[in-house]
Structure 1
Amino acid sequence: MRSFVLFFMVAGLFLSACTHEDKEVRTRNKFTGDWKFALVDSLDSNGYHHADFDDSNWRRLDLPHDWSIEGTFNENNPSGVGGGALPGGLGWYRKTFSLPECQSNKMFFIEFDGVYMNSEVWINGHYLGKRPNGYISFRYDLTPYLLFGEKENVIVVKVDNSAQPNSRWYSGSGIYRNVWLTSVNPLHLDQWGTFVTTPEVTQDAALVHIEHSIRNDFDGDTTFQLLVDIFSADGQKIGSARAADVRIAAGETKVIDLSTEVSQPELWTLENPAMHTAVSRIETDGTLIDKYETDFGIRFFHFDHEKGFFLNDQPTKILGVCMHHDLGALGAAVNRRAIERQLEIMKEMGANAIRTSHNPPAPELLELCDEMGLIVMNETFDMWAKAKSDYDYSLYWDEWHERDLRDHIRRDRNHPSVMIWSIGNEILEQWDSTGIRITKELASIVRELDKTRPITTGNNGPSPGNSLNKSGALDLVGFNYHHEDWLDFPNTFPGEPFIATETNSSLHSRGHYDMPSDSVRIWPKRWDIPFYDGNPGNSCSAYDNCRAPWGSTHTDTWNLIKNNDYMSGMFIWTGFDYLGEPTPYQWPSRSSYFGMVDLAGFPKDPYFFYKSEWSEDTVLHVFPHWNWEEGQTIDVWAYYNYSDEVELFLNGESLGTKSKPEGRFNVMWRVDYQPGTIRAVSRLEGQVVAEKEIHTAGEPAIISLSVDRQSIDADGNDLAFVSALVTDKDGNLVPDADNLIKFSLDGEATIVATDNGDQTSHASFQATQRKAFNGKCLAVIKAGRKPGSVMLKANTSGMPEAGIRIELK
């Protein structure tokens, strides 16, 4: 602890030598640049944690970093195919840094948003601790061991992901989320030191309550004032409160509650996610000691057992998707733009909710959901004390689960997007009496920290006799699958609210079609039986006619959710394909088939099923492609909205007008293939709403490039996603093109990944070339730090070079 008097003496002595940033009462800076890394074979430290260890031959890199994604796909990797068939291992990170003498009066903390897994940290040779959980955010106090002035400090992190398998999906390895260096005065708001709630909200006024957790690390007792101001999104002060002459003992953490009323509040909604900021200040005798900003939203919601979910008194169907944490070809290494792109694609489909399956997410995801207007089911655990993998979190459950749950809730409870806590997914204790005790324990911890949100679990045995439901500790009954039981829910769970925590498990490969399309393939036969009887090349049909045995088709699932008010909503498994769990196949597949969007971000056909039902955009989506064998019988489907009929033409000849049968969300024609053109026209009361043509494509002739954003930030982190389509001379996508596209780049940027959405590809994501998969592939460009423009070029044999310019601003 530090003396209060000494603080002012030291501060006064060195202020003139400090920069403006050094004079700030609190700083929080990214601590991600210029680390050194080594992947080692032995568990022996070899002195790597010593401050004077010679790391001059180690690799230099910036964080976040995932070393697994850089590895080679191999079915013999201990992670298994379920873990993505990529390697784990043991990695060490080291960073050298210095601090000016004028900051020696401050306290310093290093904050990790997530390290996968079993991380251990040293500062200047002093051991700080270990965190086994790879998804939890945590921090260490560096203050007692720091050196100032000309002396250098060395932070060392050991990451042990060598015990495999420890995950049912791709986890990644390393310091794969952001790291921060925070400095504060010894009297300060503690980590995650505020909790903002709005216990009373109407259209006319809102009561804003702010709980502050304040820590005194001075040697002596002191007295302070706490002031808080509330600001609207446009910077207007709309409320304030204060507590004067608060006494706090040395070494004490004191909780202080303040409240203020806001008139005519701008509510956080899905359409207008208005954010507010609470600025909390600690002062002593008029001197600012700490300043802490908390972003929050003003909204209210509830679940009704008869009418479903209400947000701000408006009935709202939760239209959600489950998302794993990997970012496709980028692996698990967090990038804000990559997350934002995924969320944009889901919102364009019409989704309004995300389930963080099955772990605490990166903070950036929640920040983006706050800003973009997405509801979040925030999940903590995939297993409790009973294991699902040989080396998973169950090994650490007894020692760590309470700490990890508390840290998760405290970190995320100010996000207005978070509206449901999930304390477990398909927990094996569902069928064990210990599930009752553990559910009660976990729920009590959550309620101690946050009474404003309901608690659920995703149950794949969702009966009243399930131990988790039997505990009486849950607020929402969560169904993973079992759609055949949903209609009986009001009788089975009288008076209980319903949420479909996980649905579908439908299977698709982009651009592949199995006919007849009205014959549903249930692959595999059972979850625990290996599957070898599918398609050559390990493909699944992109019609809504292939699903896992525990799941359901999109049509069957949405029929129930759409037409029953008490069904508050659903979370599709999954929004995007993800690395690992390549159901129904095993090797050589290495990523999932569940997504509405493939791993590269290209929508599959069912994406437009939901867009036609969930979004406000006009949709007429006709498929499949029109390159087949002459005389072959082809099923042509159309998803559409804002229309009452669709007419299909083949080479100008009408094949008839159709409307959706009851319980269906598409129309279908069975057509004898002839090359040429199919054209669909949707109409409402005879008036044309939309038209769509698909032409038989000729030979590959052109690489067509497009970019998601023409201009990106020259900040060293921003990304541009460039799609490369192989077309014929007339611009028609060649649906089976597999040309090898070679990318090159001129300018201050880097090609950091390529992909094509093929679940069976074993090519390195770091390669600068990629085969097209069913006509498409992707290049991901990371900006440098110099403004200007860059040119991405694409080449393949027998076609002219293509290029696209991207501006760095």
Structure 2
Amino acid sequence: MRRLLHNYFIILLLFFGIWSCKPAPTIQGRENMNFNKNWTFTKAQPKGDSWKTAGFDDSKWDQVMIPHTMQVEELVMKRQWQGKGRYRKTFSLPQERKGQNVLLRFEGVMTVADVWLNGQKLGRHEGGFLPFVYDITPHAKFGEENILALTVDNNDNPEVPPGKPISKLDFASYGGIYRNVNLIFREPLHITEDVEINRIGGGGITATFPEASEKQALVSAKANIRNTGKEKRRFTLKNTLLENGRAVSSANTENLDLASGQDLNFTTEMTVDKPNLWSPENPHLYTLRTEVLENGKPVDMVETRIGIRRIGFDGERRFLINGKPTYLRGANRHQEYPYVGYAISPEADYRDAYKIKQGGFDFIRLSHYPHSPAFMDACDELGIVVMNCIPGWQFIGNDKFKDLAVRDVREMIRRDRNHACAMIWETSLNESWQDETMRKRFNDAAKEELPGDQNITSSWQEGDFDMFVEARQHGGCQYDRKGVHRPLNAPVLDNKPSIVSEYGDWEYYAQNHGFHQTEFKGLKKEHRNSRQPRGAGEVRLIQQAFNYQEAHNDNLRSRATGDAIWVMYDYNRGYSPDLEHSGPMDIFRLPKFAYRFFQSQRDASENVKDQPHGPVLHIASYWTEKSKPHVRVYANADEVELFLNGKSIGKRKADTDEASTELNYPPFSFDLNKFVPGELKAVSYLKGKKQAETSVRTPGKASKLSLTADISGKKFKPESGDMIFVYATITDANSTTVPDAQNEITFSVEGPAKIIGQNPIKAEAGIIGALVRGTGKAGTITVSAKSVGLKSGKITL
């Protein structure tokens, strides 16, 4: 028996030994490989072409990870850095992948990119906000070293939108490979990428919903399939709709043929009974799985997240989502972080969207360019309606500029057409006077790319667009729903549906609109406007919140079907050496009083990502000697009671002044005779029942530092190069924030992460943020903060 087992064991060894000597089998199917790590970068300009090929010594170049900015800037930029940068990446392709098609995809490079592989130029891409792809198969080496090289140029370029010189542009654009890079392996018979096939309707997958109700939906799935092989291919196209991993519908189209070098669109339709419809209150997503099968075996597969929904307008020009009138309360957003500009991680994009949703907003206008795919994904998941915009602001260039702007319309729609959140397309150049021919080119391009009644185009000028957008400083939507003219002189624009694209900032800054500005007695001019730093003090922050309240209330009286504050987050300005401070959150994503006002406009019972929004109750005061005895409270309730040191000041109904008539939940005002140090406590009531309570205390002497991390729905991922804000708060011995503390704070970090930007840095209103970025490795990270005279703080991520 032992000899029998011994002989059997020898046979097994021989079998596996012979098998292991055989060539490795060819890998089949699609693989998307993240290409963000192990790049080198320099601002130096090496002579000749040797830097584009193997053998070049780049050991003295910076070792970087994508997303990457070519210049880490100051917190407040005096002038954005502009110039050329060089990138290199050395990589190998597995020998067993030979015979496959290999694609290189860049999600965003600012602004002009020249790309080489192994010394062979792949091409030039002009434009910093949309993706581009190169098929590198002809130049790729399998089983040996490859050299990818880029020159990236972010100098002013009047031919590339937005075109306006940075010194005159009201936002910065930064530079570098600032969004993800991916390497894609696929079979010669494959599904193309969205921006790969330069023709009407683009490539990739297009999902539309000709019918959608609570009873039944029709899902139409169009796939662009290409054959780069040498022979004709016959295949089956299979589409499956998955809900939480379970198939709910499917459709096959068999015996399809593609000749060598040919690509065609193929469409299948699926019926879904009792679909779970996508809306801001219910952002339900399905997965559309598209497979290419040969002889019953898959050779390619792509999964696309979709949300089933229908949009439109009713007879009163109100916006409808699944037949329900929906007011789009929203904000504008610039995609900028301090120091690194646009080069933020996908997780950071999600956290931005999370704070927007938590702030009471269901709508975001992407000012003034397409934002990252990660941000769009987050809006899909969280239930935020998006107005997508092409790059542009107060500038029209030459014919090449115009052609590239039309290209941007097409590629923006190709990239984002399957996002449930993408409902409105701003297919015009913001505040740029376009002639009739150009307006028609824009609208025609949009309608060609996405035919049907689910493509809502918008413009701030007259034309064939579906929706009129206008900033409040231009007159806003100053007609009520019955067409009666209201205070400001604005055109009716064919009585089209309309939305207020910007409000709350310029009209107060320039003192040209706003009902009560002449009555702001005792306020200095700088106190009256909405551009208020978080450390500006209570009077100015309350005034900022009131400006937004007044303008929002006025918008609700108009015929507009939504509005968007300018702007969600404070940001650097291209032409001015200061921050634009009109955000309800600052550049570190720390809230001002205005953020709490907007939070209070959402019902406590309304779902936000499968959870009730909950009670909002905030006292807009630090309750110090500088505080006014007039106290304002924000709450999504119908009554609030205020207590001072345990004694009731009284229970109040919501305000009924002219700036509160249309609000879901107006603020609550309390007049105290004088300031008395101690505790202010508020208790809110809804329909007679206690809902929530909160308090603020007069702070004592600054004593210690307390650290918190801005998780905002996404855990920190240092292994991917994620970046996160860590906040240091100066408190007294009882952990009360000291709102006038401006101590200088020094941050330090242990583990696979680093501090980016200004360090040490002074606190503002008792709090300051540090930007912490992972270095590409997993591990425990500890962030510490210290300041002279204060007890140090520490947090572990």
Q: Please report the TM-score for the alignment, with normalisation by the length of structure 2.
A: 0.83
Contact 1:319 1:614 in 2 (8 A): no
Counterpart position of 1:82: none
- Give me the whole-angstrom Cα distance separating, in 2, the residues matched to 1:403 and 1:515: 46
Q: 1:422 aligns with which of 423, 426, 429?
A: 426
- Give me the whole-angstrom Cα distance separating, in 2, the residues matched to 1:633 and 1:197: 55
Q: Does 1:614 align with 2:602?
A: yes
Counterpart position of 2:234: 223
- Give me the whole-angstrom Cα distance separating, in 2, the residues matched to 1:795 and 1:448: 58
Change (3 A) 1:399 1:526: farther
**Partner amino acid, structure 2, of 1:415:** H
How far residue 557 of structure 1 moved from its aligned partner, in angstroms, is: 2.0
- Give me the whole-angstrom Cα distance separating, in 1, the residues matched to 2:395 and 2:20: 53
Q: 1:205 aligns with which of 205, 208, 216?
A: 216
Q: Does 1:626 align with 2:636?
A: no
How far residue 449 of structure 1 moved from its aligned partner, in angstroms, is: 1.3
How far residue 63 of structure 1 moved from its aligned partner, in angstroms, is: 0.8
Change (3 A) 1:523 1:730: closer
**Partner amino acid, structure 2, of 1:601:** R
Change (3 A) 1:371 1:574: same
Contact 2:28 2:187 in 1 (8 A): no
Contact 1:420 1:453 in 2 (8 A): no
Contact 1:273 1:371 in 2 (8 A): yes
**1:86-105 to 2 correspondence within 5 Å?**
86-105=80-99
Contact 1:36 1:58 in 2 (8 A): yes
Contact 2:640 2:682 in 1 (8 A): no
**Partner amino acid, structure 1, of 2:601:** E
Contact 1:385 1:397 in 2 (8 A): no
Q: 1:152 aligns with which of 133, 145, 148?
A: 145
How far residue 784 of structure 1 moved from its aligned partner, in angstroms, is: 5.7
Change (3 A) 1:649 1:786: same
**1:213-292 to 2 correspondence within 5 Å?**
213-232=224-243, 234-292=244-302
Partner SS for 1:266: coil
Q: Deviations for 1:345-392, whole angstroms, at most 9, x for unmatched residues?
A: 1111111121111111111011111111111111113148715xxxxx
Partner SS for 2:43: strand
How far residue 438 of structure 1 moved from its aligned partner, in angstroms, is: 1.0
How far residue 659 of structure 1 moved from its aligned partner, in angstroms, is: 4.0
- Give me the whole-angstrom Cα distance separating, in 1, the residues matched to 2:344 and 2:724: 15
- Give me the whole-angstrom Cα distance separating, in 2, the residues matched to 1:606 and 1:598: 11
- Give me the whole-angstrom Cα distance separating, in 2, the residues matched to 1:18 and 1:404: 44
Q: 1:576 aligns with which of 569, 573, 581?
A: 569
Change (3 A) 1:774 1:45: farther
- Give me the whole-angstrom Cα distance separating, in 2, the residues matched to 1:721 and 1:525: 30
Q: 1:161 aligns with which of 154, 173, 182?
A: 154
Contact 2:535 2:765 in 1 (8 A): no
How far residue 673 of structure 1 moved from its aligned partner, in angstroms, is: 3.4
Counterpart position of 2:303: 293
**1:536-615 to 2 correspondence within 5 Å?**
542-545=540-543, 553-563=547-557, 566-580=559-573, 586-587=576-577, 589=578, 591-615=579-603
Q: 1:107 aligns with which of 85, 101, 105?
A: 101
Contact 2:534 2:765 in 1 (8 A): no
Change (3 A) 1:693 1:581: farther
- Give me the whole-angstrom Cα distance separating, in 2, the residues matched to 1:782 and 1:225: 46
Counterpart position of 2:739: 735
What percent identity do the matched residue pairs reach? 27
How far residue 677 of structure 1 moved from its aligned partner, in angstroms, is: 3.7
Counterpart position of 1:81: none
Counterpart position of 1:186: 188
**1:28-427 to 2 correspondence within 5 Å?**
28-40=32-44, 47-70=50-73, 75=78, 85-149=79-143, 151-163=144-156, 165-166=165-166, 167-192=169-194, 193-232=204-243, 234-306=244-316, 308-383=318-393, 386=396, 396-427=400-431
Counterpart position of 2:789: 798
How far residue 275 of structure 1 moved from its aligned partner, in angstroms, is: 1.3
Q: Does 1:752 align with 2:749?
A: no
Change (3 A) 1:643 1:483: farther
Contact 1:382 1:425 in 2 (8 A): yes
User: What is the root-mean-square deviation of aligned Cα atoms in Å?
Assistant: 3.4
Moved more, 649-658 or 118-127: 649-658
**Partner amino acid, structure 2, of 1:794:** A
Change (3 A) 1:535 1:558: closer
Moved more, 362-371 or 403-412: 403-412
Counterpart position of 1:723: 727
Q: Deviations for 1:264-290, whole angstroms, at most 9, x for unmatched residues?
A: 212112233221122222223334322
How far residue 335 of structure 1 moved from its aligned partner, in angstroms, is: 0.7
How far residue 556 of structure 1 moved from its aligned partner, in angstroms, is: 2.4
Partner SS for 1:169: coil
Change (3 A) 1:454 1:518: farther
Q: Does 1:499 align with 2:494?
A: no
Moved more, 649-658 or 223-232: 649-658
- Give me the whole-angstrom Cα distance separating, in 2, the residues matched to 1:712 and 1:257: 40
Q: Does 1:644 align with 2:639?
A: yes
- Give me the whole-angstrom Cα distance separating, in 1, the residues matched to 2:599 and 2:520: 20
Contact 1:66 1:174 in 2 (8 A): yes
Q: Deviations for 1:472-496, whole angstroms, at most 9, x for unmatched residues?
A: x100111211485534255324542
Contact 1:241 1:259 in 2 (8 A): yes
Change (3 A) 1:18 1:340: farther
Contact 1:95 1:156 in 2 (8 A): yes
- Give me the whole-angstrom Cα distance separating, in 2, the residues matched to 1:526 and 1:676: 31
Contact 1:94 1:154 in 2 (8 A): yes
- Give me the whole-angstrom Cα distance separating, in 2, the residues matched to 1:637 and 1:570: 24
Partner SS for 2:405: helix
**1:433-472 to 2 correspondence within 5 Å?**
434=435, 436-451=436-451, 452-457=453-458, 459=460, 468-469=461-462, 471=463
- Give me the whole-angstrom Cα distance separating, in 2, the residues matched to 1:569 and 1:156: 46
Q: Which runs of 5+ in 1 are unaligned?
A: 1-12, 76-84, 388-393, 460-467, 509-513, 754-764
* Alignment coverage as a number of residue pairs: 725
Q: Which runs of 5+ in 2 are unaligned?
A: 1-18, 158-164, 195-203, 484-491, 510-516, 605-613, 661-665
- Give me the whole-angstrom Cα distance separating, in 1, the residues matched to 2:599 and 2:44: 47
Contact 1:620 1:641 in 2 (8 A): yes
- Give me the whole-angstrom Cα distance separating, in 2, the residues matched to 1:515 and 1:728: 40
Partner SS for 1:442: helix
- Give me the whole-angstrom Cα distance separating, in 1, the residues matched to 2:458 and 2:311: 19
- Give me the whole-angstrom Cα distance separating, in 1, the residues matched to 2:263 and 2:560: 43
- Give me the whole-angstrom Cα distance separating, in 1, the residues matched to 2:77 and 2:494: 50
Contact 1:178 1:334 in 2 (8 A): no
Q: Please report the TM-score for the alignment, with normalisation by the length of structure 1.
A: 0.82
- Give me the whole-angstrom Cα distance separating, in 1, the residues matched to 2:324 and 2:21: 54
Counterpart position of 2:675: 673
Q: 1:702 aligns with which of 698, 701, 704?
A: 704
How far residue 785 of structure 1 moved from its aligned partner, in angstroms, is: 6.1
Contact 1:520 1:545 in 2 (8 A): no
Contact 2:390 2:405 in 1 (8 A): no
- Give me the whole-angstrom Cα distance separating, in 2, the residues matched to 1:271 and 1:321: 18
Moved more, 216-225 or 417-426: 216-225
Q: Deviations for 1:56-82, whole angstroms, at most 9, x for unmatched residues?
A: 22111111101233468663xxxxxxx
